[in-house]
Structure 1
Amino acid sequence: MSPKGRILVVDDDQAICMVVGEALRRSGHKVKTSGTIAERSQLLRSFAPDILITDVKLPDGDGLDDVANIIERCPDISVIILSAQNTLNTAVRATEKGAFEYLPKPFDLNELSRAVSDALLKKHKDVEGQEQPADENDGLPLVGRSAAMQEVYRTIARVISNDLTILVLGESGTGKELVAEAIHNLGRRRTKPFVAINMAAIPRELIESELFGHEKGAFTGAQARTAGKFEQAQGGTLFLDEIGDMPMEAQTRLLRVLQSGEFTSVGGNNPIRVDVRIIAATNQDLPSLISQNKFREDLYYRLNVVPIHLPALRERRDDVPLLARHFLDLAANDGLPRKMLAEDAARLLSQYSWPGNVRELQNLMQRLSVLCREDVISAGVVRQILPASQISPEHYGESVEQLRSAVRTWARENLTVGSGATMASGEEDILHEALLSVVEPVLLKETLRSVDGNQIKAAQLLGINRNTLRKKLTDYGLDPAELRRGD
């Protein structure tokens, strides 16, 4: 277990104070917050924190100006600087003032949590060289520093102190349940149950029984009274995933519960009163379902009190390397071999379109943890697994001639014949051409599709002249007219 401490968070953005403060309290720390330098000075005396987390730009001055004096007066305190002024000068000033860590905004809560753990470990380390890993539950399950994710964090910060109904919108695999868990775990209901149910995974005839429970003898096979998800979530949060797949008759009963807080179980007569927070999620277009009479309009408005739009992974590509390394760490914590991610591999991952979103990235990192023989995952290894059709051609960074060279190098380094003897030059050339005949047409096709069949643009992207491109298209029997986005 990581040591716990007293932490003072100073930021004039109340949403940041709220979400950072609640995340740290959830990890067992004692936390105070303030929004000005004057309040900070008072709390430094009365609260005596182990860690000061402070913004630079505050309403009554520069938060960095007095940091050196604070550290001189309180040598045991660690100062973590947060700043939206992401300049080299700010980072240098923070270092010169003696700050323990500098995190540019937008920052990732897990990264801040690690910095807090490191600072407390440094203070509480009794044996030289002793290393203690940070609690894996110290941070939130959400990872990302992109502007899109920062907006998600801000919305979460605004809703954790109330019980408003939330509708989480986003494609499959974007982490909608993680958002629901974060809202629950940071809110006042965190000591009560978090219950999730996926509407798409339950037969339609059983959904009402799953939600509202049933009495003994209510239907064939009902041998005893069974509590439904609403009763199981009493006092806590009920997460209704894939709400767009809920049958109309169940929608009617759900609307009644939202309006009155009461329901009757299947086969029951007595009303059951519940106190639960509802968070729903869907990857479907609910207004479109309403127009098709497949979803109740009044239920939609009851659920859509506070919408949270979770971006697709391709819409926050800057977060991909951070997420990939996070999932590699999780895989290692689960007993898989620990792997590092090379910078060129991280860049390639950022160029992939990720149709399966964050879930697909996590699965890939788990697979690479097992299949990659080296400790460091290279771009070459990633390229062997990712389908070329999902990588944006403008990001290939390789001409066809460079691709030829890469294939030849791969053949030389990875293939042997007989009892382990390296391939002879002639054999290598034959295999090189065979491999290239598989890879090169894919590259040509996807590049042409990306530019709507424009051969001039395609040749520029590939780093070859137009005549060479035409010859290759002829050699592979490819028709540019058929290689357009719509074809």
Structure 2
Amino acid sequence: MGNEVLLVEDDLSIATVITEALREEGCDVTACKSLARRDALLSQRRFDVMLTDVMLADGDGLASIDTVRDLAPDMPIIVLSAQNTLDTAVRASDSQAFEYFPKPFDLDELTHAVRQALANRPTANEAADPDEGALPLIGRSPAMQGVFRMITRVLRNDLTVLVTGESGTGKELVAEAIHQLGARKTGPFVAVNMAAIPHDLLESELFGHERGAFTGAVSQQIGKFEQANGGTLFLDEIGDMPADAQTRLLRALQSGRIRRVGGRQEIKVDVRIIAATNRNLTPMIEEGRFREDLFYRLNVVPIHLPALRERREDIGALIRHFLGQATAEGLPRRRILDEAVQILQAQKWPGNVRELRNVVFRLALLARDEIIDVATVEDAIPPAQDRAGSGQGDSFERALKAWLNEQGSVHGTLYHASLAAFEKPLFEHALRETDGNQLRAAQLLGINRNTLRKRLGEMDIHPEDYTKRR
């Protein structure tokens, strides 16, 4: 590339690797280990791009970016950091950094970013002040650092975001981060949980209603869209939205206008939409339970939150953060041993970060002294190997194994006998749960309605037998 690169990095091994990689690309790399030396070099020569670590021996590389801007206003800056919080990624974005790379980083991605920075030098935009420390999104793992980078990319625009991930992974925290750190932070943040509102009241909740629109509408009500005007509307559990409400939501997103239930006048609203779901919407689209056009309208910028079991290296930092939260909320100050952290890292965490937080608060409450040791953890939560059989799914597995042992080794019929023993009670349960409604039973089972009818006939199950008599 034949360009001048300034590398500010006090870790000799990292500096050596980056220097060699960039020199292979044709760059002339000058490396230094301190902010003072950085400023001296920038005063003496012109550089085409700078790579800088955040935490250096004589200060914060990000906090002193203004000095760099004074010395080299148009020079792209690439930030490298071993910090494990969203705050660092946001500070890098607010400092107008060209790119942000958490450590450890992919060397090929880094060299590619340097090439892009040299080819496309951005102009500095007006920076916003971050709301430091307000958002407990933590993670040094590659998966979470990818989430942080995606968040920083949507802070300066109003693109619609769809956050996916299992329950308890922190989807609402991501929505709050985008709002609080973005251009709409002075506006309202309004959250609505689609799964918590009765279907017949959902449209009224979202769009409001006029007096007399329906029985019980004794006064006009402003809906969530109007409440969020000028800010952000967070639509949680969007996969639980009924079909008719999906149609009205799509219309509102397309036009930027809403109409209250029972109203005649359209009302213009200015809201940023962030939606979230723990469901896989793709099969729901295929089954006709979620509108495909609404999915594409919401899925402009997808952000997927990893399950806690997929980023176990973050558990230690999360535990210490939650211990700090527990102290702030009035529980005794505690410290946890590394051996105790390892016990917690071995757990399955089906409830993800939310479950981990609850366990940490429990440990802070139950610990007999300031130190949380292995014994304290084992008293509060069984070891991973003991928990393996504690769930309902595992109980079912044990029952199935017991049933198979009773059958012996009957050749040629065991497979079909096992399916029959399992399938008929399952279908009967679905019909009981849905009052004999075959469409809803098929949806509950996650199969096609025609498949349901076929299997009911083959098993001689009659849906009318499960209809409640009124």
Q: Indicate the TM-score class for this superposition, using the shorter chain for normalisation.
A: 0.5 to 0.7
Q: What's 1:164 paired with?
A: 159
**Are the equivalent residues in 2 in contact too, given 1:251–1:299 (CA < 8 A)?**
yes
Of 375, 398, 404 in structure 2, the residue corresponding to residue 380 of structure 1 is 375
Partners of 2:234 and 2:88 in 1: CA distance:
28
Aligned to 2:32: 64
Aligned match of 1:105: 81
Q: Secondary structure at the match of 1:209?
A: helix
Matched, 1:226 2:194: no
Q: Distance in 1 between matches of 2:238 and 2:389?
A: 42
Deviations 1:42-97, CA, capped at 9 Å, x for gaps: xxxxxxxxxxxxx9669764453563436899xxxxxxx9649xxxxxx9xx54xx
The TM-score normalised by the length of structure 1 is 0.58
**Residue matched to 1:280:** 275
Identity of aligned residues (%): 52
- Shift of the 152–354 alpha-carbon distance from structure 1 to 2, 3 Å rule, reads same
Q: Which runs of 5+ in 1 are unaligned?
A: 1-34, 41-54, 74-80, 85-90, 117-134, 394-438, 454-477, 482-486
Mapping for residues 37-436 of structure 1, pairs under 5 Å: 37=6, 61-62=29-30, 64-65=32-33, 67-69=35-37, 83=53, 94-95=56-57, 98-99=58-59, 105-109=81-85, 112=88, 137-388=132-383, 391=384, 393=385
SS in 2 for 1:346: helix
Partners of 2:28 and 2:279 lie apart in 1 by 47
Distance 1:318 1:381 in 2: 21
Q: 1:337 to 1:161 in 2, by over 3 A?
A: same
Q: CA RMSD in A?
A: 3.8
**Change over 3 Å in CA distance of 1:358–1:370 after alignment to 2:** same
SS in structure 2 opposite 1:332?
A: helix
* 1:70–1:383 Cα change, 3 Å: same
Q: d(CA) in 2 for partners of 1:223 and 1:275?
A: 27
In the aligned structure 1, how far is the partner of 2:28 from the partner of 2:193? Answer: 49
- Distance verdict in 2 for CA 1:139–1:70, change over 3 Å: farther
Equivalent pairs, count = 319
One-letter amino acid of the counterpart of residue 343, structure 1: D
**Structure 1 106/251 Cα, relative in aligned 2: closer, same or farther at 3 Å?**
farther
Return closer, same or farther for 1:111/1:219 CA change in 2, 3 Å cut-off: closer
What letter matches 1:352 in structure 2? Q
Question: Structure 2 vs 1, CA of residues 61 and 140 (structure 1 numbering), >3 Å: closer, same or farther?
Answer: farther
Q: Which amino acid aligns with 1:301?
A: Y
What per-residue deviation string (whole Å, max 9, x for no partner) do you get for residues 287-332 of structure 1?
A: 1111221111111111111111100000000000100110110111
Instruction: Specify the code of the residue in structure 2 equivalent to 1:355.
Output: P
SS in 2 for 1:323: helix
TM-score (structure 2 length as normaliser): 0.60
Query: In 2, distance between residues paired with 1:266 and 1:445?
Result: 48
1:170–1:310 contact (8 Å) kept in structure 2: yes
C-alpha distance in structure 2 between counterparts of 1:375 and 1:152, whole Å: 34
Cα distance in structure 1, aligned partners of 2:237 and 2:390: 36
The answer to whether the 8 Å contact 2:243/2:290 transfers is: yes
Q: Is the 8 A contact 1:106 1:150 kept in 2?
A: no
Aligned equivalent of 2:114: none
Which runs of no fewer than 5 residues in structure 2 stay unpaired? 9-13, 42-50, 63-78, 93-129, 399-404, 409-421, 423-470
CA distance in 2, matches of 1:221, 1:287: 37
Residue 104 of structure 1 deviates from its aligned partner by 7.1
**Residues 190 and 224, structure 2, Cα contact 8 Å, conserved in 1:** yes
Indicate if the aligned counterparts of 1:106 and 1:147 stay in contact, CA closer than 8 A.
no
